[in-house]
C-alpha cells in the first residue's frame, strides 16, 4: 500500500480518533458493567474530553511524522498529553456542574487512552516506517542544490527514492556526487525514465538555466513527466524555505507572500494582539510579581533587562525581558548566548526554561512594537552581519517580530550564523504562508515547547 507523507498523518489521526472513542465507550462499561451511550448521557463531558485529547496530542508534537513513535520520549509525550487533557477536563467538570462525568469513568478513560495510543503508534511505526514504498525519481543537477535535495530524500519518511542524477557537464558523468551516480544528461531524460520505469524528475538547477535544459525539461513535461522544482518540494517536505537554493524570481512568482501586503490581515492580527496581550498581562501579573521578587533576592542588578532590537521596517525598538543573567554580563560587548552559559543566574535558568523571562514582551505587543506570532527580533549588532551572510535575511523585517514563531517551535535556540540561517528558513516559510490558522498552530505548538523546555537556554 502506497501512502503519501500527508496521508500517513491523516491515517494516524484517524486511528487516534477511533481509539479515543473506543476508550470513551469502554470506560463506563468497565466501571458499571454495561454499555452506555456516553455521548447522549454525558454529551458535553464526552465531547470535551474527546476533542481535548486530540488537541493535546497535537500540542505535544505527536503528529510530527519525522518523530520515532516507538521511542520512550514518544510514549512519555502520550502519557503527559492525555494526563494534561484529563486534568483540564477535571477542572472544566468542576466548573460546569451540568457536565457530569464520574471520576472513576474519567480515570479509566485516561488509562485506556494512554495504553491504546501508545500501542497504536508502535504498530504504526512498524508498518509504515519500515515497509513504506517510495516513488523513484531523478534529480536534474549534480550541484549543491541537487545534493541537498538528495540528502533530504534519504530520510526514511520521504516519499521519493533518488535513482540517479542527470547533468549536462561531461566531467560529472559516471561519478558519484552523493550515493547515486550521474547516469546521463538532460537530453536522455525520457530514455532513462523508461528504463527505470519512473515519471518524476526533480529540477535542482535554480539559477541561470541554459535554454537547452529548459527545452529538454519542457519536452519531458509534455510527454507526461512530472517536473518538481527543488525549492518547492523542499518547502513542502520540511515546512521551511531553502534560502541558499532560491533566487529573486522564485520569490516573485511562487505562491504566497500575499497576506503580507493585505492590510486587513495585519489589522486583524493587531486587534488580536491588543486584546490577548491585555488579558495575558492581567492574568500573569501574579507570576511576574513573584518572578521580580525572586530576581531581586537571587542576584544584584535590575529586575528587567532592556535591549535594542530591529522591528518591522528596520525600526529599532526596546525589547523588555526579565533579567536572567548576572549583572554586566556583556561588559565586553554583545555575544551569542551559549548552551550552559555561565552568565545565567540560578533564577534565570528556571525562568528561561519556562519562558517566564519573555512575559514582559507582552508590553511590546500591547504597544504594537511586536506581535504574538512572528519572527523573533534580532539585535542591531548582529543584523548587519546576518544580512551579509544569510540570504534574504532582510525579508524578516517586512512583518512585526513576535514573542514566538515558526522557527521557535521547530528549531533549537540559535547561537550561531548557521543556526540563524536555519531559523531564517522557517521564518521565510512563515512569512510566505502567513495566516491566522498558522498562528493558531504555532500557538498550540508553543505550549508543548514550553512544557517540555525545548529550545530554552
Which candidate, 450, 271, 258, places its Cα nearest to that of 372? 271
Per-residue pLDDT at 456: 39
Distance separating alpha carbons of residues 315 and 230, to the nearest angstrom: 34
Q: Cα–Cα distances in Å, from 380 out to 5, 18, 120, 329?
A: 40, 51, 49, 18
* 1-36 residue pLDDT tens: 345 556 788 899 999 999 999 998 898 889 888 777
What's residue 457's pLDDT? 37
Give the residue extent of every domain in the chain.
5-128, 135-238, 260-452
CA atoms lying within 13 Å on the CB side of residue 26: 15
Q: pLDDT below 50 — which residues of the chain?
A: 1-2, 455-457
Can you give the pLDDT at residue 2?
45
Q: Return the residue matching grid coordinates 463531558.
A: 45
What span, in angstroms and rounded, lies between the C-alpha atoms of 433 and 260? 9
- The span from the CA of 189 to the CA of 176, in Å, is 18
- Position 129 scores a pLDDT of 64
pLDDT at 455: 44
Instruction: Tell me which fold the domain 135-238 belongs to.
Output: Rossmann fold (3.40.50)
* pLDDT for residue 106: 85
Amino acid at each position: 500500500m502506497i501512502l503519501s507523507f500527508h496521508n500517513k498523518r491523516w491515517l494516524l489521526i484517524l486511528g487516534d480518533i477511533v481509539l479515543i472513542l473506543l476508550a470513551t465507550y469502554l470506560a463506563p462499561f468497565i466501571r458499571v458493567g454495561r454499555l452506555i451511550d456516553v455521548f447522549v448521557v454525558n454529551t458535553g463531558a464526552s465531547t470535551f474530553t474527546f476533542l481535548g485529547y486530540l488537541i493535546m496530542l497535537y500540542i505535544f508534537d505527536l503528529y510530527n511524522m519525522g518523530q520515532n513513535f516507538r521511542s520512550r520520549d514518544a510514549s512519555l509525550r502520550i502519557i503527559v498529553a492525555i494526563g494534561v487533557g484529563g486534568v483540564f477536563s477535571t477542572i472544566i467538570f468542576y466548573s460546569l456542574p451540568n457536565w457530569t462525568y464520574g471520576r472513576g469513568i474519567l480515570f479509566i478513560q485516561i488509562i485506556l487512552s494512554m495504553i491504546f495510543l501508545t500501542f497504536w503508534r508502535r504498530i504504526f511505526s512498524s508498518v509504515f516506517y519500515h515497509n513504506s514504498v517510495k516513488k523513484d525519481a531523478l534529480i536534474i543537477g549534480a550541484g549543491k542544490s541537487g545534493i541537498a535535495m538528495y540528502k533530504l530524500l534519504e530520510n526514511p519518511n520521504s516519499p521519493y527514492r533518488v535513482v540517479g542524477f542527470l547533468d549536462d557537464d561531461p566531467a560529472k558523468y559516471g561519478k558519484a556526487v552523493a550515493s547515486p551516480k550521474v547516469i546521463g544528461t538532460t537530453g536522455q531524460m525520457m530514455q532513462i525514465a523508461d528504463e527505470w520505469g519512473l515519471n518524476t524528475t526533480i529540477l535542482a538547477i535554480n539559477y541561470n538555466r541554459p535554454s537547452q535544459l529548459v527545452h529538454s525539461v519542457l519536452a519531458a513535461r509534455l510527454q507526461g513527466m512530472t517536473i518538481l522544482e527543488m525549492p518547492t518540494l523542499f518547502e513542502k517536505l520540511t515546512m521551511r524555505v531553502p534560502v541558499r537554493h532560491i533566487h529573486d524570481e522564485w520569490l516573485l512568482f511562487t505562491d504566497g507572500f500575499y497576506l503580507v501586503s493585505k492590510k486587513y490581515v495585519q489589522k486583524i492580527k493587531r486587534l488580536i494582539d491588543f486584546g490577548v496581550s491585555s488579558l495575558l498581562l492581567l492574568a500573569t501579573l501574579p507570576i511576574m510579581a513573584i518572578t521580580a521578587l525572586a530576581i531581586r533576592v537571587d542576584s544584584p542588578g535590575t529586575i528587567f533587562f532592556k535591549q535594542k532590537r530591529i522591528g518591522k521596517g528596520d525600526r529599532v525598538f526596546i525589547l523588555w525581558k526579565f533579567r536572567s543573567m548576572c549583572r554586566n554580563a556583556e561588559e565586553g560587548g554583545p555575544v551569542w548566548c551559549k548552551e550552559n552559559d555561565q552568565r545565567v543566574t540560578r533564577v534565570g535558568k528556571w525562568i528561561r526554561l519556562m519562558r517566564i523571562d519573555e512575559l514582559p514582551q507582552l508590553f511590546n505587543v500591547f504597544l504594537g512594537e511586536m506581535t504574538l506570532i512572528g519572527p523573533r527580533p534580532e539585535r542591531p549588532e548582529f543584523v548587519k552581519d546576518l544580512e551579509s551572510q544569510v540570504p534574504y535575511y532582510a525579508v524578516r523585517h517586512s512583518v512585526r517580530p513576535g514573542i514566538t514563531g515558526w522557527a521557535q517551535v521547530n528549531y533549537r535556540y540559535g547561537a550561531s550564523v548557521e543556526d540563524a540561517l536555519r531559523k531564517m528558513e522557517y521564518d521565510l516559510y512563515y512569512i510566505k504562508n502567513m495566516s491566522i490558522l498558522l498562528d493558531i498552530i504555532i500557538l498550540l505548538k508553543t505550549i508543548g515547547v514550553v512544557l517540555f523546555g525545548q529550545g530554552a537556554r
